[in-house]
Structure 1
């Protein structure tokens, strides 16, 4: 099959196995070129196939030599369609880990399901006995409520009043104005149920009850705060309510784990090109401006740079983990630097369709978006036939529950 990118809105419906493998190798090479991390011995990564979950797994394995177990949704390819980028990423990771002599395995299933938790626990018990790091990196729009069996859907809306600002179609470069109506109380509750801390806590409780969580284990989940430009649609919106719940969950988990020597944290990261962030109005344009400014200042980081810094300079730093007054790990320090935000704000206020190329890095954003799916990677012949069916021998599928 000759695989080309096909898009539907902010989603790319195809992925390229060789391109995905190339970007995984690129991340591995970055970590290998850095000093070794005195980090985890064994790690469970929930949501391990893309974005921060994938880069955290790479940093733990190739930076600290950790055994890793990744949990992610199954999405195999066939003769007529490609697998997901996450599937190809995970296949490439497993192959590289095996070649490096690292212990690794995958559990495929819905992270919210009890069956997936049970399968992960069984794999931990068989492979390493216990894990001493749990990374929770699940980003999804839908969850089946474990109590009622009903579907809960998250939304990206402001609270209290409509929100109007600039946005961009990153495929065409067209700048327009978007107005988003505020979320309802029911939508806030659903967003918290999907994107809050409930499932993270359920994972930790299940691991502890099964005695596969090391007494000194650490766990981390991801959050975002961002600048004043994105506050209304993100941190002060429905998703912000979910992140508030996530941070409260971290505090509760930390109280439970600290008695045995463990810790729980939320890591506040910088704005990046991800499939999730590309769905949020305003954010792609903000990220395009931010990337331009940070690249000019020599401060730009991607997922792998952030994940390496999370392990080497935060979670496993000499002298303890530095946190802010709310107990959060801050990896957004460079994004929120005063000079960076001042320049981003200046450019944002001046931004029009005529000066987009001078003030923002929309081409860089678009390139990074397609690289999420294995496209536009140097050295890959995208006109060549490639087999879309890629096996992951180390993957174990969780039995889905009856619906």
Structure 2
């Protein structure tokens, strides 16, 4: 069938198998063009199918030559409904890794569940014995805990409503959006879903099963952002969850002390994600940021950041962290010259100069690329087989 992007609100309901494969191939080619990294040899990536998790797995496999196990929750094609982009991404990664002689297996399941944890541990024991890197890169709207209760995450301010300008994703015009403050239940739910509890449960399970190597490292990803977005992000419900994540990193480091292990939170740069498109202020801020950083030649996507993290921050004689013990990949984004220019543009942007001062096209290009669309060299008018098998799927 011919696959076209179908946008509903902030969601793309289709994905292109050839485009997703090309997107993965380009990320692999980027890593292969860089010097090899003396880093992880056996890595577990929890949330491995898109965004930072996928980029981490690519950097580990093709940058470090690591054996990798990926855990994701994706859906295959059904009748005339395409698979999710993460399914196609995983298939493309697995094929290339196996073609290159690298160990690569994937588990499709709810990473929050004990069943998936147990299945992953069994696979590690059988095939690898242990892992020296565990990356926790989940971004989920809800989580069902072992008791059966389901929690949902929300992106809302705390204490008072937030009103700010943003880009209307349908008209590409500036608009004003208001978000009411979160309830206590919503704050609790967001921390349960996006905080550190499940990360700690994974590490406890892995350590208890004896499948963490001596000196094992574990990472979780976060975002802080500039003052412009703090009310809706860093000081909102997501910010509360990320603070819990940082506290958990300290707890996990204590837990790993007997094996000389360490837990880090990596604070990454703003990138386009499906979730971020729905956050007021973020699409506009990101579009302006892209314009500024591209002009300065310091713009990075997920793969550039993950390679840089491994090569320049993590796998160096002494891990590079800030005063709070966090790895900072938002260092370019938060440079004084970058934020000064972003603030200047933010205060002067209007409908007539929006396309000139903000990289709206670049934002949308990145959004479509998430689903395999708008990628050079792909014939989107051709019939494609939407049913794709994942080699090495457990």
Same fold (TM over 0.5): yes
2:186 corresponds in structure 1 to: 187
Secondary structure of 1:368's aligned partner: helix
2:369 & 2:167 partners in 1: Cα distance?
Answer: 19
Query: 1:146, CA displacement in angstroms?
Result: 2.3
Q: Deviations over 1:304-345 (max 9, x none)?
A: 00100111111101x210111111100100000000000000
2:277 & 2:61 partners in 1: Cα distance?
Answer: 28
1:18-29 aligned within 5 A: 18-29=18-29
Aligned pair partner of 2:328 in 320, 330, 351: 330
1:230-241 aligned within 5 A: 230-241=229-240
Task: Answer whether contact 1:157 1:182 (CA < 8 A) is retained.
Answer: yes
Secondary structure of 1:45's aligned partner: strand
1:6 corresponds in structure 2 to: 6
Secondary structure of 1:281's aligned partner: coil
2:242 corresponds in structure 1 to: 243
1:56 & 1:196 partners in 2: Cα distance?
Answer: 20
2:341 & 2:260 partners in 1: Cα distance?
Answer: 43
1:10-89 aligned within 5 A: 10-89=10-89
Secondary structure of 2:4's aligned partner: coil
1:108 corresponds in structure 2 to: 108
Aligned pair partner of 1:372 in 363, 370, 373: 370
Task: Answer whether contact 2:288 2:346 (CA < 8 A) is retained.
Answer: yes
Task: Answer whether contact 1:170 1:362 (CA < 8 A) is retained.
Answer: no
Comparing 362-371 with 274-283, which one deviates more in the overlay?
274-283
Q: How many aligned positions are there?
A: 394
Q: Deviations over 1:88-130 (max 9, x none)?
A: 0000000000110000000010010001111111111122110
Secondary structure of 2:352's aligned partner: coil
1:293-304 aligned within 5 A: 293-304=292-303
Q: Deviations over 1:250-303 (max 9, x none)?
A: 011011213321110000001001122222121111100000000000010000
1:157 & 1:103 partners in 2: Cα distance?
Answer: 41
1:126 corresponds in structure 2 to: 126
2:282 & 2:320 partners in 1: Cα distance?
Answer: 28
Task: Answer whether contact 1:171 1:366 (CA < 8 A) is retained.
Answer: no
1:354 & 1:89 partners in 2: Cα distance?
Answer: 38
Task: Answer whether contact 1:196 1:246 (CA < 8 A) is retained.
Answer: yes
1:347 corresponds in structure 2 to: 345
Query: 1:86, CA displacement in angstroms?
Result: 0.1
Task: Answer whether contact 2:95 2:391 (CA < 8 A) is retained.
Answer: no
Task: Answer whether contact 2:42 2:130 (CA < 8 A) is retained.
Answer: yes
Task: Answer whether contact 1:79 1:388 (CA < 8 A) is retained.
Answer: no
2:70 & 2:277 partners in 1: Cα distance?
Answer: 24
2:151 & 2:125 partners in 1: Cα distance?
Answer: 32
Task: Answer whether contact 1:162 1:181 (CA < 8 A) is retained.
Answer: yes
Q: Does 1:157 align with 2:190?
A: no
1:140 & 1:174 partners in 2: Cα distance?
Answer: 29
1:206-355 aligned within 5 A: 206-317=205-316, 319-355=317-353
Task: Answer whether contact 1:76 1:87 (CA < 8 A) is retained.
Answer: yes
1:216 & 1:13 partners in 2: Cα distance?
Answer: 42
1:400 corresponds in structure 2 to: none
Query: 1:65, CA displacement in angstroms?
Result: 0.2
1:181 & 1:145 partners in 2: Cα distance?
Answer: 27
Task: Answer whether contact 2:19 2:378 (CA < 8 A) is retained.
Answer: yes
RMSD: 0.9
2:29 & 2:9 partners in 1: Cα distance?
Answer: 32
Consecutive unaligned residues in structure 1, runs of 5 or more? 397-403
